Structure 1
Amino acid sequence: MSSSIGILTYHRAANYGAVLQAYALQTAFSKLGRRTEILDYYCPAVEEDHRPFGRLGKKKNVFQTLTHSPVKIKKDKVFGAFRERKLKLSEPMKKGIAPGTADRYDLFVTGSDQVWNDRLSGMDPAYMLDFAREEQRYSYACSFGFDTFPEGKEALYTERLKGLRCVSLREKSGVKMLEEAGISARVDLDPTLLLTAKEWSPFSVKPKDTEPYILLYTVNGAVHLLDFARELSEKTGCRILYLNNQYKTNRDLTRIRYAAPEEFTGWFENAAYVLTNSFHGTVFSILFHKQFKIELETVKSFNVRSRDLLTSCGLEDCILRNGPEDFTFRQDFEEPDRLLSQMRERSFSYLQSICDSAEKMGKTKDR
């Protein structure tokens, strides 16, 4: 008997948010009584980006490439072990989506994560479910990672996305962008937010060291966040633990390296303060009711995803403003919890509708 729903997402990336949202979406479907498999698809662009001698190896600095490679190899082992422990995967698909895949599942869900970000996926049509029949195509909380189409690509995006039965996005900015292109869409929670703090807590591994700490977690290069972390440490007496695999800069900070995803959530749950510029860092700060600040500006981009999430939860006061107000932290999460609960209920209702469609299609197939 086949699993009724096939999920296509970034589960193979050595990235905490990527594997945790994949785990959470499978868990959410399981709560609704529906079996799923993640298609173990090897996206060429994702594989190139995450292999030890991938895009980094194209840089002129050969020494930097060689010194980073052991780090990437270790990370790959950590995330590979997590996939084996926690994710239900199909057979490997290393040379494209396997022939006949559309006949082995009742329907498909693409998402969550930035599966529609052309810089990450290489505009891979598999993430628009081009291999499936139109009645099988659904998305859940997909993200573009931008709020305006890349130059010259709007027509290609709209052509491919019009084939989906229902378009579900993670950010309101994406809905506005698609509606202006003539495609209706809805907003749903990132899968990690479908699970409550009580559900994440038994998943998490608690740090052995109980001394209070400021968890600093950065992606894409922080602007002012590290300086703020040092100031906060001076004011509070809490040490800084820096969850980051870089090794050349900020050597005064104590590093957390090669943490498994269960340890990652544990570091968030048990922190006295959290400072981050990461979307999923924002997610777990909210879920665990942390005293936290989010830096939206990074060296490479602006974090649209965290901005939209904070706004939808009424948590704009948790944005780093580079002023004296930054040292005041939110203590009351009653209203954000209420808003999040409403959004969670709405998103589970949508997932239930997908399950209902899968059941109907399964019965039709069995006739």
Structure 2
Amino acid sequence: MAIKIATMIGDNYGSALQAFALQQSIKECGGGSSIVKLRPKSYIIRFAKTYLIPTKYDGVKKKARKAVSDFKNRRKRRKVREFYQKNIVVEIHRTIEELLSNEKSRITFICGSDQIWNPQFQPNQLFYLDFSTKLNIKKYSYAASIAVSSLAKEECEYYKRKLKDFEGVSVREKTGKYLLDELLDKNVRVDVDPVLLLGADKWESMMSARFNGKDYILLYMLRPMPELLSFAKMVAQSRGLKLLYIGEFDYDDADIESCHDAGVEDFLNAIYSARYVITNSFHATVFSTIFKKKFCSYAVSRTGTRVLDFLDDFNLQECRIDDLNRTDYSFNQEIDWDEIFSIINRKKQESLKYIRSIVNQDK
């Protein structure tokens, strides 16, 4: 019986790669899986939710800027969708009821990874398996990210109610474990992001050759940060290197080379081929580590615990940048890659053991 995975699958490189890696790891552990996507039938409703209706975290201006950037990035978004079609098994349903109606007796769900348990996604039926049914449902999470360092009282109550029936609770960051340990009467695991479950050779076999042979600093920003852009330009100028920018939001700047049509395979190659990487993205930070790059990572406000915990866990604190006004920044960190990959491999084996335990009970 195939395990159903409830995770984010959007136009984001990190979402695509973690979804692929989790599905691939389940397969290598002897199980089958499909990623569940709920998509309303109405295109108008989907468009309005994405670009028009403001939320607590995304106001009208940010929604409007996303609409403009998504248009400029339309070729990139098409390539990401093609990556899903080629590499990931996805089942699309209109409603929870439709999802459950096709099953006969028992379903095993894994929620994770990525920021599925970020409070901004409450309430969300799918990410918390918040539905009633006569079916026998086994609930697990894998490396689910809460992504914040503190919770409001009502958010705490939400987690207590929705996660009490999970047979296995696994989060991605130790900060998430700390928060849930205070709320749940069960063991909360910390597991590595799925992309760390696959080796660098696997990712190298999937990447393009688009940026091979080019000499540049890569700036990848998942969230718009003009101050990080200014910092990256200063570093590139001081080193006499070209600055290549890939990101969700557009910047019209003559001093940078903006790439609006990079697919998932190009994203991997952009990190792999870069002289240095500057980023405010969790997954760009992780892939910089996988490819043993010189990099610096900025932890954004509110969701920056993801990056900070990762750097702490793997002794990469020197790759953290806090002061974007520095004019003397260099990438002269002394990184002991043997030690770092020893830690990664140990944590990877512990995480794979957990996945195998889920696969084995599902058979």
TM-score bracket relative to the smaller structure: 0.7 to 0.9
- Please give the alpha-carbon distance, in whole angstroms, between the structure 2 residues aligned to 1:29 and 1:63: 38
Residue aligning to 2:348: 344
- Please give the alpha-carbon distance, in whole angstroms, between the structure 1 residues aligned to 2:238 and 2:232: 10
- Unaligned stretches of 5+ in structure 1? 360-367
Indicate the RMSD between aligned Cα atoms, in angstroms: 2.8
Counting only pairs closer than 5 Å after superposition, residues 82-121 of structure 1 correspond to structure 2 as 82-90=83-91, 92-98=92-98, 99-101=100-102, 103=104, 106-119=107-120, 121=121
Residue aligning to 1:30: 27
- Please give the alpha-carbon distance, in whole angstroms, between the structure 1 residues aligned to 2:31 and 2:261: 33
SS at match of 1:201: helix
1:19-41 Cα shifts (integer Å, max 9, x gaps) = 11000001111111211111132
The verdict on how the C-alpha distance between 1:113 and 1:71 changes in structure 2, with shifts beyond 3 A counting, is same
Residue aligning to 2:309: 308
* Cα deviation, residue 59, structure 1: 2.8
TM-score by length of 2: 0.87
SS at match of 1:39: strand
* Cα deviation, residue 243, structure 1: 0.6
Residue aligning to 2:174: 172
Q: Highest relative contact order (Cα 8 Å, sep 6+), 1 or 2? A: 2
* Cα deviation, residue 215, structure 1: 0.6
Counting only pairs closer than 5 Å after superposition, residues 221-236 of structure 1 correspond to structure 2 as 221-222=224-225, 224-236=227-239
Residue aligning to 1:363: none
Counting only pairs closer than 5 Å after superposition, residues 1-367 of structure 1 correspond to structure 2 as 3-11=1-9, 13-42=10-39, 47=46, 51=50, 55=54, 59=60, 67-68=68-69, 70-71=71-72, 73-90=74-91, 92-98=92-98, 99-101=100-102, 103=104, 106-119=107-120, 121-131=121-131, 136-183=138-185, 184-208=187-211, 210-222=213-225, 224-296=227-299, 298=300, 301-322=302-323, 323=326, 324=328, 326-359=330-363
Residue aligning to 1:364: none
SS at match of 1:155: helix
Moved more, 268-277 or 65-74: 65-74
1:115-136 Cα shifts (integer Å, max 9, x gaps) = 11231x3420221123465751
- Please give the alpha-carbon distance, in whole angstroms, between the structure 2 residues aligned to 1:129 and 1:267: 36
The verdict on how the C-alpha distance between 1:105 and 1:23 changes in structure 2, with shifts beyond 3 A counting, is farther
- Please give the alpha-carbon distance, in whole angstroms, between the structure 2 residues aligned to 1:223 and 1:342: 38
1:233-288 Cα shifts (integer Å, max 9, x gaps) = 23322211001243354442111112111111111111110000100011100000
Q: Is the Cα–Cα contact under 8 Å of residues 4 and 35 in structure 1 kept in the other structure?
A: yes
Aligned residues: 351
- Please give the alpha-carbon distance, in whole angstroms, between the structure 2 residues aligned to 1:179 and 1:93: 33
Identity %: 27
- Please give the alpha-carbon distance, in whole angstroms, between the structure 2 residues aligned to 1:164 and 1:82: 31
- Please give the alpha-carbon distance, in whole angstroms, between the structure 2 residues aligned to 1:39 and 1:206: 31
TM-score by length of 1: 0.86
Hey, which of these two has a bigger chunk of strand by percent? 2
